[in-house]
Amino acid sequence: MSIVEMCFLAGAALGSVGSGWISDQFGRRHTLMGFALIQGVTGLALGFVTSLELYMGLRVVIGFASMSVAVVSFVLVVELVSGRYRTIIGILNILPVALAYILAAGIAYVARDWRTMQFAITVPGLLLVTSWYWCPESPRWLLAKGRLDELCQLLERAASTNNLQLPANYRKALLVDGSTAEGCYEPEAAVSVGDVFRRKFIRTTLVMIVVWFGIILIYFGITLHLSNLGGDIYLNTVIAGSVESIAICLSIVVVLKLGLRINLFLYMVVAGLSCIVMNFVPDGNLWLIITLAMIVKCCVGACNAIIPTFTAYQYPTTMRNLGVGVGNFAAGVALIIVPYLWLLEHVDQYLPMTIMGVFSIIGALSLAILKDKLSKKYRQHKQAKQASAYQNKQHAAMENDDDSKRRVASHFPYAADETAGISNIGFAHNESIFL
């Protein structure tokens, strides 16, 4: 069973990185829907197979597709909004996982047969594919790739749907920073997996790997251990899913007040300490063990909701998918380890919970070396830097404008009594600065 489960998790680890590169090349929308279709078809095929080898192979495929759907859907929804709504949507994106966790317990209780359950959990995924035509592409990805015609159509469609009026010259505003001498938008260069390990991002990437690994190790470690806690496995699962759902909803309010990094730090520390404390609970005290397990589930569920949004903020648009993908790859490695983690109970019964607790605390402490890009101080520093760069650019532009006026005046001098107006060159330049 551990090897079969590892097949799915190995596919998920590969999909976490592979899907990032694919969606950066071909777009979020088509990547998301394409993998949702693969996930649905493979899920149906799994319900019919009779060969263990074929079953294991298909588990790798569906693991790749499922993780791709999870990664790309997150990046798409956070790129469709901005400001505080990006934080809210990013966290809410993980809420269906907890709700489906509760629903899965009900399906398992009724079905009691893995083939029936396989079909039951596959059909909703296929329904997702029916929204392919209406699903919008990421406007930030379109802008980064220089596909302005498609971007303008999307913006106009969004404005029409929400009864909003776009500025008359909004297309020129999009062209200001990325226009070339010929007036064409210059798309950003393609990125590769190696770019997230460049000097500028190496520290962020390494920290994200440690944090993601710690969160997923403890998240799925405690999830797979629910059957060993005692009591009814179905009831434990429903309670765990309910607690996680509440934690995710509450974390939105807390995050908007305190910020992402401090909450991520506190949740990981509390989850890690709770795991270690469970080792000291006397035998037979079932409800205290379950209570501590629910605290862990609550905290790490909130971490699981926050970490994708936190990671997305650490990278620019063209690298965002890869950044989240690398984090998910570390999560995939943790997933592969989890089924074997509990085998360490045969060595020492306290070892699994201690390992999970220690890794969670290490992940929390590693956040201290990261810059908090969402803090007020960091935003003020960034805005001051951008304002300084803009003033320098404006100053250089005014000097160029003066040179242009002098060149024009040398060929077309004004009469002595003629009022000097704004030349076409000057007007075009001033309009760009204004936009």
Q: Helices in 259-350 by DSSP H: which ranges?
A: 260-278, 286-313, 317-341
Position with higher pLDDT, 31 vs 410 = 31
Give the whole-angstrom CA distance, residue 219 versus residue 300: 6
Helices 84-92 and 286-313 pack at an angle, to 10 degrees, of 140
The CATH number corresponding to 200-369 among 1.20.1250.20, 3.20.10.10, 3.40.50.300, 1.20.1600.10 equals 1.20.1250.20
pLDDT of residue 384: 59
Q: Tens digit of pLDDT for each residue in 15-29?
A: 877 887 788 888 899
Q: Tens digit of pLDDT for each residue in 34-89?
A: 999 999 999 999 999 999 999 999 999 999 999 899 888 888 888 888 877 888 88
pLDDT of residue 408: 42
Give the whole-angstrom CA distance, residue 257 versus residue 272: 24
Determine the straight-line distance between the first and last CA of the chain, rounded to whole angstroms: 61
pLDDT-based confidence at residue 371 (cuts at 50, 70, 90): low
Element of type H or E holding 64: helix 52-79
Tokens representing 359 are 């890794």
- The answer to whether 275 and 359 have CB atoms below 8 angstroms apart is no
Q: Tens digit of pLDDT for each residue in 212-263?
A: 999 988 888 887 776 666 667 788 788 888 888 888 888 888 888 777 888 8
Q: Is the pLDDT of residue 31 over 70?
A: yes
Instruction: Please give the single-letter amino acid code of residue 219.
Output: Y
Give residues with Cβ within 8 angstroms of 319, minimum separation 6: 191, 195, 196, 201
179 DSSP β-pair partners: 185
- The answer to whether 65 and 14 have CB atoms below 8 angstroms apart is no
pLDDT of residue 427: 28
Helices 114-129 and 95-111 pack at an angle, to 10 degrees, of 140
Q: Is the pLDDT of residue 420 over 50?
A: no
Helices 84-92 and 52-79 pack at an angle, to 10 degrees, of 160
pLDDT of residue 221: 83
Q: Tens digit of pLDDT for each residue in 157-173?
A: 888 888 888 887 887 77
Angle at 316 (CA atoms; ends 315, 321), nearest 5 degrees: 70
Beta-sheet strands, E only, within 16-93? none
pLDDT-based confidence at residue 191 (cuts at 50, 70, 90): low
Position with higher pLDDT, 371 vs 313 = 313
**Integer CA distances (angstroms), 57 to 4, 43, 45, 61, 203, in order:** 9, 12, 11, 7, 36
Instruction: Please give the single-letter amino acid code of residue 406.
Output: R
Q: Is the pLDDT of residue 184 over 70?
A: no
**Do the domains 1-148 and 200-369 sit in the same CATH topology, yes or no?**
yes
Q: Is the pLDDT of residue 182 over 50?
A: no
Residue with tokens 């709700």: 99
Residue with tokens 């399906």: 107
Give the whole-angstrom CA distance, residue 423 versus residue 184: 23
Give the whole-angstrom CA distance, residue 86 versus residue 314: 13
Give the whole-angstrom CA distance, residue 81 versus residue 179: 24
Question: Under CATH, which number does the domain 1-148 receive?
Answer: 1.20.1250.20
pLDDT-based confidence at residue 389 (cuts at 50, 70, 90): low
Q: Is the pLDDT of residue 209 over 60?
A: yes
Question: Which value, to the nearest 10 degrees, does the dihedral of the CA atoms of residues 403, 407, 409, 410 take?
Answer: 140
The Cβ of residue 129 has, within 10 Å, a number of other Cβ atoms equal to 18
Q: Report, in angstroms and rounded to the nearest whole number, the Rg of the chain calculated over CA atoms.
A: 26
Q: Tens digit of pLDDT for each residue in 306-343?
A: 888 888 888 886 777 778 778 878 887 887 788 788 78
Q: Coil, strand or helix: which one is 411?
A: helix
Backbone angles phi, psi at 179, to 5 degrees: -80, 150
Give the whole-angstrom CA distance, residue 71 versus residue 322: 10
Q: Is the pLDDT of residue 178 over 80?
A: no
Most confident of the following: 176-180, 249-253, 379-383? 249-253
- The answer to whether 342 and 349 have CB atoms below 8 angstroms apart is no
Domain ranges in the chain are: 1-148, 200-369
**Integer CA distances (angstroms), 144 to 120, 148, 184, 189, 246, in order:** 39, 9, 13, 9, 37
pLDDT of residue 283: 75
Q: Helices in 314-366 by DSSP H: which ranges?
A: 317-341, 351-366
Give the whole-angstrom CA distance, residue 267 versus residue 263: 6
Position with higher pLDDT, 46 vs 149 = 46
Q: Helices in 162-232 by DSSP H: which ranges?
A: 170-175, 202-224
Q: Tens digit of pLDDT for each residue in 285-297?
A: 778 888 888 888 8
pLDDT of residue 417: 41
Query: Average pLDDT over the chain, rounded to whole?
Result: 78
Instruction: Please give the single-letter amino acid code of residue 108.
Output: A
